[in-house]
Amino acid sequence: MRKVIKLKSVCSLRALPFRSIVSLRALPLCGIALLLLLTTACDRRPLEVYFDKVVNVRLDVDWMTYFHEKPTGMTMLLYREDDGLLRSLTTNEVNTQVLRLEPDVYKLIIFNQSPDEFGSMRFENLASHYLAAARALPVTTRANRPWDLGEQYMADPEAIGVAVDTINITQEMTEDEYLQFVDYRQRNNIPDTIHYVFKETVNPMTTHLNVRVMVKGYQSMRSLEANISGMSDGFYMSRVDRTQETGKMILDTWSATPIEGEDNTGWVTTSISTFGLPFGKEKAENREPEDNVLHMAFLLKDGTIKEFVYNVGKIMKYLTPSGDALTKEEVLRDIEVEIIIDDPIDCPDLPPVDPSSDTGAGFDAHVDDWEYGGTIDIGF
């Protein structure tokens, strides 16, 4: 807080010539008083002392190194060490923010956009630094199919990045601030000098899940949907740890590629945005096969559904330079998890269909929903 101390100047006696002083002795007392009034001046302009016991802090936000995109806005949450929310700010100035902080320990959270701008997640406990979290909202627009009746899915999260920091403002730091004597007329023009700069690097909180499956009987497909279980339902903002609560996600947009030289065999692939694997389950050694289950349902050309279920907890992996010996920084900054099912013995093997039921429809490389009836014209 800026403190102001007002000092009143003291009237000053302007020097008189020596001869004037001598001549004063001969004047009557009233004349002396009159001459004193005429020959002295009083300057009573107030002088104000500005004494700061706060520290000017500039936050420089780095969005591009790991988050790879600059948002149109950001939210900053500032907490005191005792976990209480001190300040919340949403702004379209995403590069720099200036704060004036009294001596204390502050906890900082920065994320892109405002909480109201996300349609795939909700924010909870933002008044608490330790408990502040983002969690996936349920999918409400899907009409479940016969193969997944009763299932509840989490929404694919939008891109969100978070920076966290602890800012320790000591009493000694305030002593480096300025003490200024300023004429009262300049009280509104006192410059603020930036003394401390903190760089805040934003990390992505979403992880792309890539699924690649070899399929035999490739030409029997009309469409494909699947789901995956065991994915984290969000993250804690101050710890940038994924939650241990999990849910299922729908995989309903696939691409298909034939394998050259293989008879009626090809790859189906998809990629979705997730919050990644739960905290403590990042490494395969800490997961059981059934922790993550891939359930695939193929709609064949004759209208029948063929289902395959795979326990993939042990074969999921983060795509990091260190492989499965990954660090927390790699979990934050490497944003892909991969599932590959390529064993010809275990991969989906679709039965041949009755040619008379084939109306020319095949696998739709970008189908969003099941196609019951009708014709889907595609080409590989």
Taking the domains of the chain in order of start, what are their residue ranges? Answer: 2-49, 53-179+191-203, 207-357
State pLDDT tens for residues 163-216: 999 999 988 887 655 455 555 566 566 555 667 999 999 999 999 999 999 999
Could you give the CA distance from residue 203 to residue 294 in angstroms, rounded to a whole number? 28
pTM above 0.85, yes or no: no
Radius of gyration of the chain (CA): 36
pLDDT in tens, 313-322: 999 988 876 6
List pLDDT tens digits, range 12-25. Answer: 333 334 333 334 34
pLDDT over 70 percentage in the chain: 71
Structure-derived torsion over alpha carbons of residues 77, 80, 86, 92, reported in degrees to the nearest 10? -20
Place of tokens 């909870």: 124
Between the two ends of the chain, the Cα-to-Cα distance in Å is 70
Q: Do 349 and 341 touch, CB atoms closer than 8 A?
A: no
In this prediction, residue 107 carries a pLDDT of 95
Q: For the domain made up of 53-179+191-203, give the CATH fold.
A: Immunoglobulin-like (2.60.40)
> Averaging pLDDT over each range in 45-54, 117-126, 217-226, which range is the top one?
117-126
Residues 44, 9 contacting (CB under 8 angstroms): yes
